[in-house]
């Protein structure tokens, strides 16, 4: 679909009951039914018939941009717009752009609608901010819930890494003491423990990345505007996990440098 075909089409007063039926289609419908063509001027049979049993054809008079539905995870669906003068709707929505506080226009909107037709009720007045916030309510709740569980999992992982490394340092206390007694520097011992921890962390990160890539299809429904395999996101999360894991290893590593070599020699 050529972007140049997208315009801001509108119906006019001539599109009434006495005129041929017209419609405006969105880009999704134009791509589906008229790929590579200009749909303006084409006709669509909606399955309706007139009094004589002949099909009623609707002429396309414009192409509108796609409008995303309130379900943000869904792609834009083929849609069309009909003239209110040709097809009376039970209810309609009116969108107003304002340079002032939208809520302050409620009475003015009701008055303007009454001047056009006093019998038409005006209800469900809301701001676009509130409408969008409601559309984001469910994804936002899911995001908060996943964030809480993710944060809890991160804390548990850090605690587990710390526990494993602390236990390993305690088991190797005599070995570390002998290393220090034989001339090893504290930073050498610290690097030894950190390297050991880094090997374990690397294995965990590789397994975690493989599992995450395999399970991305389950996350697609929770994402909007972000690819499930977004490289930047994976890199940022990997870096975060690496930093947290190294911090969890740092405390046992520092403790290993404080092993008393003399006490170790006495024990040996």
pLDDT at 23 over 50: yes
Least confident of 24-28, 226-230, 234-238, 264-268: 264-268
Q: What is the DSSP string of 209-234?
A: HHHHHHTGGGTGGG-SSS-TT-HHHH
Three-state SS string across 62-91, please?
EEECCCCCCCCCCCCCCCEEECCCCCCCCC
Q: Considering the chain, what is the average pLDDT of its residues?
A: 81
CB 246 within 8 A of CB 194: yes
- Whether this prediction's pTM lies above 0.85 is answered by no
Contacts of 55 (CB under 8 A, 6+ apart): 45, 47, 48, 49
Q: For residue 240, what are its two tokens?
A: 């975060």
Least confident of 187-196, 227-236, 255-264: 255-264
pLDDT tens digits for range 202-239: 888 888 888 888 877 676 666 666 677 778 888 888 89
Helix (H, G, I), strand (E, B) or coil at 118: coil
**Cα 91 to Cα 36: distance, rounded to the nearest angstrom:** 35
Output the CA–CA distances (angstroms, integers) from residue 220 to 98, 99, 213, 225, in the order listed: 35, 37, 12, 10
CB 27 within 8 A of CB 1: yes
Which long-range CB contacts under 8 A does 170-174 form with residues at least 24 apart?
172/256, 173/259, 173/264, 174/264, 174/267, 174/268
């Amino acid at each position: 679909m050529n972007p140049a075909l997208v315009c801001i089409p509108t119906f006019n007063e001539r599109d009434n009951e006495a005129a041929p039926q017209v419609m405006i289609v969105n880009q999704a419908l134009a791509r589906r039914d008229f790929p590579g063509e200009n749909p303006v001027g084409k006709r669509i049979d909606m399955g309706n018939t007139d009094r004589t049993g002949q099909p009623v054809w609707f002429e396309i008079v414009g192409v509108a941009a796609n409008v995303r539905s309130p379900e943000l995870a869904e792609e834009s669906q083929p849609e069309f717009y009909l003239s209110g003068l040709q097809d009376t709707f039970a209810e309609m929505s009116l969108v107003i752009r304002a340079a002032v506080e939208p809520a302050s226009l409620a009475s003015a909107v009701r008055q303007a609608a009454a001047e056009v037709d006093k019998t038409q009720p005006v209800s469900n007045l809301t701001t676009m901010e509130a409408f969008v916030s409601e559309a984001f309510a469910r994804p936002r709740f899911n995001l908060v819930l996943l964030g809480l569980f993710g944060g809890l999992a991160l804390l548990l992982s850090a605690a587990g890494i710390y526990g494993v490394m602390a236990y390993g340092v305690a088991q190797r206390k005599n070995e570390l003491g002998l290393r220090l007694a034989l001339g090893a520097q504290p930073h050498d011992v610290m690097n030894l423990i950190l390297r050991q921890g880094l090997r374990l962390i690397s294995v965990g990160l590789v397994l975690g990345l493989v599992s995450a890539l395999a399970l991305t299809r389950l996350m697609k429904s929770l994402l909007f505007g972000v690819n499930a395999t977004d490289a930047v996101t994976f890199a940022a999360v990997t870096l975060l996990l690496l930093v947290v894991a190294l911090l969890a290893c740092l405390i046992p590593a520092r403790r290993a440098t404080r092993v008393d070599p003399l006490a170790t020699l006495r024990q040996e």
